[in-house]
Chain A
Amino acid sequence: MILALWIIIGIAVVIVLYIVFTFNRLISLRNRVDNAWSQIDVQLKRRYELIPNLIATVKGYMKHEKGVLTEVTKMRANLVSGSMSEKAKASDAISNAFKTIFAVAEDYPKLQASENFKMLQEELSGTESKIAYARQFYNDNVMALNNGIQQFPSSVIAGILNFKEREFFKTEESEKKSVKVEF
């Protein structure tokens, strides 16, 4: 009788410990996702700030590509306000527009030679790759969180404690190819 009691107490302790452990793990996974998201936001904001500067610099040269510049100006606001998918969409549209702008810029040696333009180009491409890295980090963390929420048995605890799955920061084409690592 006493033995049975001890076994029941033992099992109860293990279960409680498991719940506490899983809860803490889910919390830290969720915090990681939030932190990763703020990294994306910082970079989107940086890009938002750089765009007027770029437009002012290239406007004089882009007589025939006015459309691209209007597109960038239009999308710019969505970088800092709007839902996650709107931000992702705006970010990708702007990346594409930049490709056009920098391609056109190659036809203008004077623009190419300008220190200001060179610096802007470096800064914008740096920001662009940082957005890609932040997205990669964010999506990795979202996957870890979603796995924790979906996989049994932590899924039970996640369900009871009302943990929500997160959305990937995703767009169609610009995802970098994933890499298979093996030894």
Chain B
Amino acid sequence: MLTPAPAAFRRELGGLLPRLRGFAYYLCQDLVLSDDLVQACCQRALEQWALFQPGTQLDRWLFRILKNLWIDRLRATPAEAVLEDEAWEALPAPDWQAAMERRLLLDQVLAALGRLPPPLRLVLVLVCVEDLSYRETADLLEIPIGTVMSRLSRARAQLLQTLGTDHDPSA
């Protein structure tokens, strides 16, 4: 029988819920799905709490769980799953060029994020939204740090290209 998670673990997990919701929402841009992911993440964390190494950062551990759940979901959703890492160049051209109004920024950024292939999106959100270091991101995703940096670079260029700002070197 599983031992229930200690109270301190549960409290810390509870305190991280807002952060997990934000992370999940940035990954999938879908409120229902992101809450589902956060809930599944918490359930898994409560079941597997004994695997968490005390002294390490719980948020990173949870990001990893949530990321895995999200990827599982993507694999079950062919439309997104077919977007391979290298396929982003084939995406349609930016469909808005108008100057951004500030109140629309969030929507636009999220929409642009949603057009990034998942591997690029994940790296971008971890580094630029959640403020993980390149090394932490590499460890969390179990990929080389060079891959983190090249994905991050491409993700940023593509994000701005989609947003219609003028930093596209091929423009």
Question: Do A and B form a real pair?
Answer: no
